[in-house]
Structure 1
Amino acid sequence: MEEKEEGVNLNWTLPVSSVQELVRQRQPDAVPPRYLRDDIVMAGHHRELSQGLPRIDLGKLMDPPSRSTELCNLHSACRQWGLFLLVNHGVLDEGMRMMKENVQGFFDLPHHEKQKSAQKPGSLEGYGQAFVTSHDQKLQWNDMIFLKCHPAHARNLDLWPKNPPEFRIALEKYSEDMRKLAAEVVKYIGMALGIHEGELDLLTKSFGEGKYEVRMNYYPACPEPERAIGLLPHADISGITLLTECGNIPGLQVLSKDNCWVTVPPVPGGIVVNLGQIMEVYSNGTYRAPDHRAVVNKEKERVSIATFCYPSPSLPVGPSPQLLAATGLPPIYQTLSNSGEFLQCFLSHKLDDAVPFIDTLKLQTPNRCVRPFHLLLVL
């Protein structure tokens, strides 16, 4: 692969060594220099969620007598956190169990077997790491396999592992369950925002026909967890993200409104719903796409599954027309013609840009979205 570092977009990544193999072969008693992230890990202070993450019961949202109260709870969670724990979500335990077992089984395979699904030049899809754009870039303490799942024609089955034997079956079923769940969740997020009738139907239908991509993360035990980072602080660019933990090891942290990193404890059977920047733009800034990160553990590995849920590529990305009409407020964000244009803007954004990507979409900020010359593969 050409080892260019200038003009690289975020759909391009350099191959790097497996952190899992580094730990297995060398068993280091200190974090190797390229993984040292004292600047990130030591910034800010931490606390546990004393009262737990806001819990939203999908069953109550679906039940007319309890819907109004639960919609108020959902509205508050989206405003204050942009993150909530979804319970009573209706996804069968068997499907979730099968997916978790196969993801764990994949990362338990010998390295040469996992390498059969390794990323190809010019794509983030497959086994490896994302967004490595230079040879002196600091790295994150994780390995991942990232696969496109919906629509079906977007799948690159050459990268879908054949081992474990049921991996493909599990991923196909799980991603379909997440697609159906996301459309339902987005419908109620729209209702909580005050969207109704035709626009609500369009929003729901768009996520039913949207793009779904699954990132499976492996965070090995780390000899100095206070000096490494599993996943850098970031806000997702999706509509929403659905996160499933494969065990009981905490690692997800979310940045609260008072700029404190808060640890989100795993809850058996629960799914963490994280609002992405498409939804923050759609809500005209009413709802948050929160910054979050993954920290690592000294004794235990952690495995998680994140499903990135996008609306149909034909849906414009901008503030809700109904919301603007109802509030009388001016739009904060520009409207892009479709979610494909939105994703192209993100992929052309530089990782080290001092201006956060979402701020480049604000109307009072000069539009710094530079469209790439060539058609990009979107996340």
Structure 2
Amino acid sequence: MQTTSHSLPILESYPPCFRPNTQQSLQNVYNDDHTKNKIENEQDQLPVIDLEQINYDKLEEACKEWGIFRLVNHGIPLTLLTRLHEHIVRMFGLGFESKKDLFGSIPTSIMSYFYGTPALTPSGDALYKKDQGTLIYNWVEGLNVPLSMDQPSHVDFHEQPLLIHDMRLLIEEYGVHQARIAKSIFSAMSQNLNLCDEHKGYMSPSTGQLRVYRYPRCLIDNPTKVWGMEVHTDSSVVTILNQYEVEGLQILSKDNAWIDAKPIPNTLIVHLGDMMQAISDDRYKSVKHRVKVNSENERISMGYFVFPDHNCVIGSSVYKPFTYSDFRAQVQQDIKTLGFKVGLSRFKVHTDS
């Protein structure tokens, strides 16, 4: 059986809901939905943007047609990415009870732990739900790390356990690079959209959050529509994703087909989120995406999410004026009452024809 670097049986590091019971086989049988409508093409189809020399026409096309692109020459040192990955593997490799104790002892403003659900909802609440009589799982555990520069003065991650302290230092360094990249991308998009300086609050690095995802091996027998992360759009302005080796991310292409966004060394994936679609008056696309489960390999990824200033009102000809706080509150209410995110359509301006 696969073990962690501490020789702990890997299943002991999984939340109990992700462990097979004695009646279940250790062989995963994928639901047909995991391959349905997928384009079988080994050639990478995503548009590519070079951060060192941004081609504004190519960026415009990627934002309008895809809502996602691959980023090269991003300038993040490989040594930082390697060290951060090693710490992530070590952190997730702790026994489940040890992780609960560790993260239960630190402020959520430093780092918080969740599983079975997106970070927006309390851990465990959305582990599974009914969708037309079918169970849907989010087969994921993760860490949420706020990167705000205005943390309360009484919060000091230097006083936290060594493992948290070291990882937080690496994440802070990584976050500086992510903010730099996000600023460059948003500046280029703003030029294409002719946004003026008064809209600079539309993307604020002080809202940045890093979410580290571990998708455990899916070892249950013949799961019914099990996904690492079900179909969704991000609520962010942009999301910058770093994938490590194991594939799983799928995006809905401009041709309305699911395609793999495979890990390619030293590249990042940039998603446009709901806020960017609203800012652009629907000129740009918030991309739908999902994550497949895997029976043989765990998948690790890191997503940097950045939002508008909390009090910044997004003005649009397509949507009613709203702040990100308004949007987030509506999303949480819909998840609580309906079981899913409705998103931007809640804020659409409805005109009589």
Whether contact under 8 Å (1:275, 1:288) holds in the other structure is: yes
Measure the CA separation in 2 of the matches of 1:355 and 1:165: 34
Match of 1:55 in 2: 48
- After the TM superposition, which residues 355-366 of structure 1 pair with which residues of structure 2 at under 5 Å, given as runs? 356-364=342-350
Whether contact under 8 Å (1:239, 1:279) holds in the other structure is: yes
What is the letter of the counterpart of residue 181 of structure 1? Answer: I
Deviates more, 1:123-132 or 1:96-105: 123-132
Q: How many residues align?
A: 320
What is the letter of the counterpart of residue 240 of structure 1? Answer: V
Closer, same or farther: CA 46–227 of 1 in aligned 2, 3 Å: farther
Closer, same or farther: CA 354–116 of 1 in aligned 2, 3 Å: closer
Tell me the alpha carbon deviations over residues 287-315 of structure 1, each in whole angstroms, 9 at most, x when there is no partner. Answer: 00011011122211110011111122132
Closer, same or farther: CA 222–151 of 1 in aligned 2, 3 Å: same
Q: Which runs of 5+ in 2 are unaligned?
A: 1-11, 130-135
Measure the CA separation in 2 of the matches of 1:47 and 1:251: 14
Shift of 1:93: 2.3
Match of 2:210 in 1: 214
- After the TM superposition, which residues 153-302 of structure 1 pair with which residues of structure 2 at under 5 Å, given as runs? 153=151, 162-163=162-163, 166-195=166-195, 197-199=196-198, 202-203=199-200, 207-223=203-219, 227-245=225-243, 247-302=244-299
Measure the CA separation in 1 of the matches of 2:205 and 2:139: 34
Q: CA RMSD in A?
A: 3.5
Match of 1:333 in 2: 319
Larger % of strand: which?
2
Closer, same or farther: CA 40–361 of 1 in aligned 2, 3 Å: farther
Whether contact under 8 Å (2:331, 2:341) holds in the other structure is: no
Closer, same or farther: CA 313–141 of 1 in aligned 2, 3 Å: same
Match of 2:9 in 1: none
Shift of 1:250: 0.7
Shift of 1:74: 0.4
Identity %: 23
Match of 1:12 in 2: none
Closer, same or farther: CA 296–157 of 1 in aligned 2, 3 Å: farther
Shift of 1:210: 3.2
Match of 1:316 in 2: 313
Shift of 1:147: 2.0
Measure the CA separation in 2 of the matches of 1:48 and 1:152: 46
What is the letter of the counterpart of residue 183 of structure 2? Answer: A
Closer, same or farther: CA 365–149 of 1 in aligned 2, 3 Å: farther
Whether contact under 8 Å (1:216, 1:305) holds in the other structure is: yes
Whether contact under 8 Å (2:202, 2:279) holds in the other structure is: no
- After the TM superposition, which residues 117-128 of structure 1 pair with which residues of structure 2 at under 5 Å, given as runs? 117-118=102-103, 126-128=112-114
Match of 1:8 in 2: none
1:106 paired to 2:91: yes
1:133 paired to 2:125: yes
What is the letter of the counterpart of residue 364 of structure 1? Answer: H
Q: Which runs of 5+ in 1 are unaligned?
A: 1-16, 62-69, 320-330, 367-379
Whether contact under 8 Å (1:218, 1:303) holds in the other structure is: yes
